[in-house]
Homo-oligomer: A and B are copies of this chain.
Amino acid sequence: MSQTPKLSFSNQEISGKAMLVEEVDLPLADGQPVAPFNSLRMLIPPGGCSTVDIHDSKECWFIASGNGVIIYNGETRLDIKPGDVLFYDSRRSHQVFNHGDEDILLFSIWWR
């Protein structure tokens, strides 16, 4: 395992409307993941948004910077700000819109 604790990112892609998604390269030990979750970071520029996402996995979002609006389960609309943490239960749709004037950076963690 690396001597530095700083992790790299891979599988960079553009998704939704101009959202940059990068997976966190969580380490392996003896070929097995050390973490019981997967992780990625998302950067959503002003005017951008994610796709509507819905899946069996449960997920948490950690809002690092920016301000925006999340539509949850097709019905709940809520404002988000830096420091917020959100939990999405299985099969609950979620989408984020950046209506602000700075990038939204957020971290996602998901697990079965």
Chain A interfacial positions (CB closer than 8 Å to B): 1, 3-7, 9, 24, 26-27, 34-37, 39, 41, 43, 58, 60, 62-65, 70, 72, 76, 78, 80, 82-89, 92, 94, 105, 107, 109, 111
Contact = CB atoms under 8 A, between A and B. Distances in A.
Contact of A82 (B63, B65, B78, B109): B65
Report how many copies the assembly holds: 2
Nearest to A58: B34
A83 B9 CA distance: 10
Nearest to A65: B65
A85 to B, nearest CB: 5
A7 B87 CA distance: 7
Contacts of A78: 4-6
B39 A36 contact: no
A39 B85 CA distance: 10
9 contacts: A5-B88, A6-B78, A7-B86, A35-B111, A41-B62, A64-B64, A64-B82, A83-B105, A109-B109
